């Protein structure tokens, strides 16, 4: 394992925007698509990083085959940049390569970028990998897996039914407040796609429980916001009652 790989392993507290860790890479502004396409095949790691990062800012379908190829690059910083490039340039052709790399990549930074990209692809094939990430991965990856599930699962009722129980479980049990907050947001997004049935009621109950019982103010605020956006009568009444009591 080289120094770059070691430096990328200590990042579990990095729960911000998925492009934040690329700030130390020199920016090219404005990126020239032609020049960046050429650099994607450069031998120098730094040039490939710059090129891949450029495609996290610009969209060009010509870059997609090159970015897919670079998902398996030996340099983890290249793979990170490529993942975000594919997130900005979503493609059906990239979904399976992203999934394969997610399961095979040792580097948490890379998996975080891949999970973000899979969410942006909005392809049903990504549901199971995102559920796996939500249940088993490090906090920074779990955070974006929850958000990604909200983007993908709403496309199909069966996917909503599949995604909600793990999201509810993570909302109640995840040790990281930011992950619980993203789960609350995701549950609220998916509830807006559901009819008023048992599954919907269970999800609303989960948000109400977090609103009342979670010890983190950020999580309770996100649960409240989710309930307000859904507009569920029980949720609205509970929020009104708690506001009258000065509890939220």
* In-domain check, residue 181: yes
Residues 102 and 179 in one domain: no
Per residue in 73-97, pLDDT (tens digit) is: 999 999 999 999 999 999 999 999 9
Residues 111 and 150 in one domain: no
pLDDT at 22 over 80: no
Q: What is the pLDDT at residue 5?
A: 38
Residues 150 and 241 in one domain: yes
* In-domain check, residue 166: yes
* In-domain check, residue 6: no
Number of structural domains found in the chain: 2
The last residue of one of the domains, among 105, 121, 137, is 121
pTM here is 0.85
Residue 208 lies in domain: 127-248
Q: What is the pLDDT at residue 121?
A: 93
Q: What is the pLDDT at residue 222?
A: 97
* SS3 of the chain: CCHHHHHCCCCCCCCCCCCHHHCCCCCCCCCCHHHHHHHCCCCCHHHHHHHHHHCCCCCCHHHHHHHHHHCCCCCHHHHHHHHHHHHHCCCHHHHHHHHHHHHHCCCHHHHHHHHHHHHHHCCHHHHHHHHHHHHHCCHHHHHHHHHHHHHHHCCCHHHHHHHHHHHHHHHHHCCCHHHHHHHHHHHHHHHCCCCCCHHHHHHHHHHHHHHHHCCCHHHHHHHHHHHHHHCCHHHHHHHHHHHHCCCC
Q: Give me the CATH number covering residue 64.
A: 1.25.10.10
């Amino acid at each position: 394992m080289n120094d770059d790989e070691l430096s990328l392993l200590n990042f579990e507290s990095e729960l911000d925007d998925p492009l934040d860790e690329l700030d130390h890479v020199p920016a090219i502004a404005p990126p020239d698509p032609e020049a960046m396409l050429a650099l994607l095949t450069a031998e120098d790691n730094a040039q490939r990083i710059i090129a891949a990062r450029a495609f996290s800012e610009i969209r060009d379908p010509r870059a997609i085959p090159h970015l897919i190829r670079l998902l398996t690059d030996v340099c983890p910083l290249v793979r990170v940049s490529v993942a975000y490039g594919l997130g900005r340039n979503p493609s059906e052709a990239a979904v399976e390569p992203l999934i394969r790399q997610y399961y095979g990549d040792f580097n948490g930074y890379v998996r975080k970028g891949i999970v973000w990209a899979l969410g942006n692809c909005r392809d049903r094939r990504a549901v199971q990998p995102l559920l796996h990430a939500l249940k088993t991965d490090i906090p920074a990856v779990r955070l974006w897996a929850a958000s990604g599930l909200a983007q993908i699962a709403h496309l199909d009722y069966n996917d909503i039914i599949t995604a909600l129980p793990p999201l509810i479980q993570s909302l109640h049990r995840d040790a990281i407040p930011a992950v619980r907050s993203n789960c609350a947001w995701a549950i609220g997004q998916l509830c807006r796609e559901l009819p008023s049935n048992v599954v919907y009621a269970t999800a609303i109950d989960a948000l109400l429980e977090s609103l009342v019982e979670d010890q983190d103010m950020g999580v309770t605020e996100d649960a409240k916001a989710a309930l307000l956006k859904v507009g569920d009568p029980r949720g609205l009444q509970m929020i009104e009652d708690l506001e009258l009591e000065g509890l939220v």
